[in-house]
Structure 1
Amino acid sequence: MKYGYLGRSGMRVSRLCLGTAAFGSSIKRPGEYGSVTEQEAHRIMDAALDAGINFFDTANVYGDLGQRGITEEIIGRWFAKGGNRRERVVLGTKVGRMFDDDTIDGPNKPQGLSLYKIRRHFEASLRRLQTDHIELYQMHHVDRNVLWEELWEAFEGLVRSGRVDYIGSSNFAGRDLLKAQSSAKERHFMGLISEQHGYNLINRFAENDTIPTAKDLGIGVIIFSPLARGLLAIDMSRPIPERLAGHARRLLETHRTQIEQYSALCRELGHKESHVALAWLLAQPAVTAPIIGPCTVEELEDCLKAVEIELDEPTLKRLDEIFPTPRETNLFPQQ
C-alpha cells in the first residue's frame, strides 16, 4: 500500500480509503452498492488492515431506515475484538444528515448543523464506535443557515479536548471552503483538513470549483463514488451487468459513446476499467484517497491492484479527450 498526507496535516493515510456505507444494510441499492453482513464486514476490515489500508470512512446515519447508526455499531464491535484494531485505524465519521427517528433531535430534527447537534451526535457516535476519540470528524453537508462562529465553537472544542484530531467537510462548494477557512483563521484554528466530494472521470464538475479551491487552501480531497456508481467498472465488450439499474443505467445511455471508448482504451492498456478509474484519481494532485466500497474480501483485494498502476501522459491525455471537464451542472446527486 502507498500512503500520503491528509491535506497539509502530518497525518499519513493509505491512498485507498475503506468505505463502510453498505455495512449492516439489508437493502440492495442498484447501481451503487450491495449489502454487507456484520460477519463479512469484519472480514473486510481485517483484510483491509492486512493490506495496509489504515483509512476508514463511515457516518452516523449509515444503516437501514429505522436503524441509522448500525454501521458505526458494527465497526465498534470490530474494534472491541482488540488486536490493536482501533490503534491501527485512522477513522473518519460524519455529522449533519437527518435521522429517521424524530426522538433524537425533536424540533431540531431537520438536516443541518448546530453546536447542539454536533455535541449530541458526536457523543452518540463515540458510544456506537466504542472509542474515546475520532481522527477525522466531518460535516456531511454544508449548512449555510448557521454561522461559522457557532460551528467552529463546536468543532474547536472537540479538538481542544483531545477527542477529535482533525475536522473535515463533505459536499462543500469552493466558496464554502473559503468561508470556513477564513473564519477558522480569525480564531487561530487550523480549520478544515479535508473535503469529501463526488468526483470521477464522468463527473468532473468539481474541477471547476471545489478541487482547485481545496488545492489552493491545502485541503485534501477524499473521493466518494470513484467508479460513478459502477459505470466506470463496465467492460463494454460484455453484456451490461443486471446490477446496473436506475440512475446509473440512465447515465450509461447518456454517456454510452464515452464509456465504449473508455472500455476500449482499458483493453488496450491491459487493465480493468475499475483499476484505471481509480488510478486516474490517484494521479490527481489534490486527491488524498478515493473511497472504495467492497462488499466482499475478494472485491477489496481486486481494488488494491489500482494502487500499483501509473498512467503515463499519453494515457492521461486520452482520458481527458474522452471525458473532458464539463461546464454544466453536476450530474450526480450528493452523497
Structure 2
Amino acid sequence: MQYPTLGRSGLRVSRACLGTMNFGTDPQAPTPEPEARRIVDAFLDAGHNLIDTADTYRGGTSEEVLGRAIAHRRAEVVLATKGAAPQGGGPNSRGLSRLHLTRALEASLRRLGTDYLDLYQCHLPDPDTPAEETMAVLDDFVRSGKVRYLGCSNFTAAGIVTAQWAAQRTGGTPLISLQANYSLIMRAIEAEIVPTCRQNGLGILAYSPLGSGLLAGRYQRGAAPAEGSRLAQWAAMPSPMARSFVNGLLAERHFDIADEVAAVAAELGTTAPAVALAWLSGRPEITSVIVGPRSADQLTAALAGLAGSLPESVAARLNVVSQGTVAPAVNGQHRAA
C-alpha cells in the first residue's frame, strides 16, 4: 500500500480516495446508509484512509451518514469535506467569505460528529470575496484546531496562485491540495493547472475518473442518456450551462476515446473501468483518485482497477488517442465534485 504525502505537507494519504456523493438518507439516495457503512468498512479494511464528502452532497446527509460510519474508526480516517457551495437562498449562504465559511464549517462538524477535519477544502472559487479574507479565516480554522490542512476544488491556475500568495502575505496556512476533474476524456488540467500545483505545493485529487460514466460504457453514441442517469438529470436542468456540459461530454471525440478504452479492455481481458482507472493511477501528477461507488461490489472493482497497471505500449496508445481533450465548462469552471 502506497501513502504519498499530499502536496507540500507531511500528510500521508492512500492512492484511492473514497468519494461519498452517493451516500444519503433520502429514498432517492443511490447508496442507503447500511450499504454506505459496508463500503466505508471495506475501504478502511483494505488499508486506504482518505474519505471525501461535501456539505451539499444529498443535502448534507452524506456527511451525516459518513460521520456515523466512521465514528468507531475516526483515527484511521483522513477526513475531508468541502464548503462554499450554496446552502440556501440568502445572500451570505454561499461563497468563501468569513461569515459563510464559519457557518459552513460548524455545520459540517456537527453533521460529521467530529471536532476536527483533516482536510477542509474550498469547493468553488468565489470572485466576490478577497483571497486575503478567505485564507485568513481558513488559517483561523487551523489555529483553532478544528482543521488540520487546507485544500481547494475546481480552482483555476490563477486562483491557486492568488490563494497561495494571499496566505503568504497574511502569514497564514497555504493550500496543499486541489480536487480537479481528470480522466482520459478530461485532460485540460495538464496545460496550466498541473504545473501550477507542482510549483505551489499542491497535490492533486482526481475526481470523475470515469468521465461521469462515459468511460464505463454507461452512455451510447447518438443516444440520449438513460432516464434516471446522472447525465439525464443534468440535461433536464433549466440551466443552459448544465445542458451545454452534457452535450460537450457526449461529444463524438469522447466516444472515440471510450471505444479505444473498451478495445484495450477486451485485449487485456479486463473491464473498461479498470483500464481507465489504471491509466489514471499511473499518472505521476496525481496523488489520489476519487472513486464514488454505489455498492461494496463497485468499490472492490474500483480498487482493483486502481491497483492495476498498464503495459507501457498500452498507456502510450491511450495517451495519443486522448491528447488534447478539454473538459466542458459550466459558468467558466469545471464541474464541481
Q: TM exceeds 0.5?
A: yes
Q: Deviations over 1:193-237 (max 9, x none)?
A: 000011110011111221221122220011111100111112999
Q: Which residues of 2 match residues 77-96 of structure 1 at below 5 A?
A: 77-80=68-71, 82=72, 85-96=73-84
Matched, 1:132 2:115: yes
Unaligned runs of 5+ in 1: 29-33
Q: Which residues of 2 match residues 141-220 of structure 1 at below 5 A?
A: 141-220=124-203
Work out the CA distance in 2 between the residues paired with 1:276 and 1:15. 16
Q: What is the identity, as a one-letter code, of the residue corresponding to 2:140?
A: G
The structural deviation recorded for 1:124 is 1.0
Q: Pick one of 113, 119, 128 that aligns with 2:96.
A: 113
User: Given the two structures, how large is their TM-score scaled by the length of structure 1?
Assistant: 0.87
Matched, 1:15 2:15: yes
The structural deviation recorded for 1:25 is 5.9
The structural deviation recorded for 1:38 is 1.0
Q: Give the 3-state SS of the residue equivalent to 1:183 in structure 2.
A: helix
Work out the CA distance in 2 between the residues paired with 1:291 and 1:201. 15
Q: What is the identity, as a one-letter code, of the residue corresponding to 1:87?
A: A
Work out the CA distance in 2 between the residues paired with 1:71 and 1:236. 26
Q: What is the identity, as a one-letter code, of the residue corresponding to 1:95?
A: G
Work out the CA distance in 1 between the residues paired with 2:25 and 2:157. 32
The structural deviation recorded for 1:253 is 5.5
* Structure with the higher fraction of residues in helix conformation: 2
The structural deviation recorded for 1:330 is 4.4
Work out the CA distance in 1 between the residues paired with 2:99 and 2:327. 37
Unaligned runs of 5+ in 2: 236-244
Question: Between the two proteins, what is the percent identity of the paired residues?
Answer: 40
Matched, 1:232 2:184: no
Q: Cα distance 1:231–1:326, how it changes in 2: closer, same or farther (>3 A)? A: closer
Q: What is the identity, as a one-letter code, of the residue corresponding to 1:305?
A: A
Q: Deviations over 1:71-102 (max 9, x none)?
A: 1111222233x2xx1110000001000024x4
Matched, 1:306 2:308: no
Work out the CA distance in 2 between the residues paired with 1:318 and 1:158. 46
Q: Which residues of 2 match residues 309-320 of structure 1 at below 5 A?
A: 309-320=308-319
Q: Give the 3-state SS of the residue equivalent to 1:197 in structure 2.
A: strand
Aligned to 2:24: 24
Aligned to 1:31: none
Q: Deviations over 1:19-53 (max 9, x none)?
A: 0001016476xxxxx71111111111111111112
User: Given the two structures, how large is their TM-score scaled by the length of structure 2?
Assistant: 0.86
Work out the CA distance in 2 between the residues paired with 1:231 and 1:204. 15
The structural deviation recorded for 1:333 is 3.2
Aligned to 2:335: 333
Aligned to 1:69: 60
Count of residue pairs brought into register by the alignment = 316
Q: Deviations over 1:148-189 (max 9, x none)?
A: 211122010111112111000000000111111112122333
The RMSD of aligned alpha carbons is 2.4
Q: Cα distance 1:170–1:253, how it changes in 2: closer, same or farther (>3 A)? A: closer
